[in-house]
């Protein structure tokens, strides 16, 4: 049985690099690389967890199409259990077009597709009962889960003995607190990036963001901050800020998902949150050096060598 259930968004990304401008009319612009990868805040962590040697089952919805087949076969090749992927007969597989700028940032064009039909009925509770961690990835882009269903899912996962981890994907929206609020008391580790957390809370002040999340019942806030590292703050304890690694960034796609996988693998090894975050930082930094969510990470030994030998940026 898997140690981790990763439930939520499954997306196929098509990435082009380097992108500088849209050519006018029907003119042609040349890129150095185009890549197709498994992405999404449930699927991408599953792939990286498998690379780290963790037994993981992925749970989500894909379409009955070639893109969905690509997601399934690619994940299986890495060793992910795809038994609980549901094939939706009507909706296409969720997909994104990502044009990667030379600095690693990227605009995104997205089709929500089959992710929109995911519901709490898709949770394989027998498998959850045997797992150690239940990860929910994709709050705010899973309309069948957002709100009360998410709270029910996470509450039951905790009742079954799982550590609960959550990441989300969002743009500013007025109903954000209403949608995720009921779920917050059931989240052991909430792992958004600092910008998304600020949009949720309505503040750019990190101390205010952390205080608000704790007041809503989150067990530990884990805020990824790009080149500024990561903030880890268990409720009732002081915040720890860890510095980022000094790497040449190619593409920031999937860095947060890679952090998630490293962090969860650390928790499974019994590490304290700050030590688990060190592994997460190493994973996220490695992914930033390549194109797409599945770049950079080879296995746990490679991650550990990077973590112990690579230079860090100043806090």
Contact 145, 16 (CB under 8 A): no
Where residue 227 falls among pLDDT bands split at 50, 70, 90?
Answer: confident
Give me the residue spans of the domains in the chain.
4-18+33-309
* Residue 295 pLDDT exceeds 90: no
pLDDT digits (tens, 9 = 90+) for 87-111: 999 999 999 999 989 888 888 899 9
Domain 4-18+33-309 sits in CATH 3.40.1190.20: yes
Q: Best-predicted range by mean pLDDT among 30-39, 86-95, 295-304?
A: 86-95
Tokens of 259: 């952090």
Mean per-residue pLDDT over the chain, rounded: 94
Q: How far apart are CA 207 and CA 210, in angstroms?
A: 5
pLDDT at position 292 is: 74
Q: 171 or 137: which carries more pLDDT confidence?
A: 137
Contact 60, 5 (CB under 8 A): no
Q: 103 or 223: which carries more pLDDT confidence?
A: 223
Mean of the pLDDT values across residues 199-203? 96
202: Cβ–Cβ under 8 A, 6 or more apart, which residues?
Answer: none
pLDDT digits (tens, 9 = 90+) for 153-196: 999 999 999 999 999 988 899 999 999 999 999 999 999 999 99
Cα 168 vs. chain centroid, distance in angstroms? 7
């Amino acid at each position: 049985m898997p140690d981790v259930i990763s439930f939520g968004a499954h997306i196929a990304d098509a990435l082009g690099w380097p992108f500088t401008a849209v050519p006018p009319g029907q003119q042609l612009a040349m890129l150095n690389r185009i890549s197709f990868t498994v992405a999404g805040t449930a699927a991408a962590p599953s792939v990286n967890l498998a690379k780290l040697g963790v037994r993981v089952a992925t749970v989500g919805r894909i379409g009955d199409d070639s893109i969905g087949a690509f997601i399934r076969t690619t994940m299986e090749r890495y060793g992910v259990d795809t038994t609980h992927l549901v094939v939706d007969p009507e909706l296409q597989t969720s997909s994104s077009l990502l044009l990667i700028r030379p600095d690693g940032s990227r605009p995104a064009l997205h089709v929500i597709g089959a992710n929109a039909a995911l519901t709490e009925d898709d949770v394989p509770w027998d498998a959850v009962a045997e797992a150690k961690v239940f990860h929910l990835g994709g709050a705010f882009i899973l309309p069948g889960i957002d709100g009360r269903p998410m709270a029910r899912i996470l509450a039951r996962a905790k009742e079954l003995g799982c550590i609960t981890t959550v990441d989300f994907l969002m743009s500013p929206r007025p109903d954000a607190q209403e949608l995720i609020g009921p779920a917050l008391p059931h989240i052991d580790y909430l792992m958004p990036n600092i910008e998304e957390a600020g949009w949720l809370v309505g503040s750019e002040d990190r101390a205010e963001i952390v205080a608000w999340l704790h007041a809503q019942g989150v067990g530990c806030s884990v805020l990824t901050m790009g080149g500024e590292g990561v903030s880890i703050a268990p409720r009732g304890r002081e915040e720890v800020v860890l510095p980022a690694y000094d790497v040449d960034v190619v593409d920031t796609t999937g860095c947060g998902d890679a952090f998630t996988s490293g962090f969860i693998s650390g928790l499974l090894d019994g590490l304290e949150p700050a030590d688990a975050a060190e592994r997460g930082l190493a994973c996220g930094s490695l992914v930033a050096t390549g194109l797409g969510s599945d770049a950079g990470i080879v296995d746990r030994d490679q991650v550990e060598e990077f973590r112990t030998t690579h230079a860090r940026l100043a806090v």
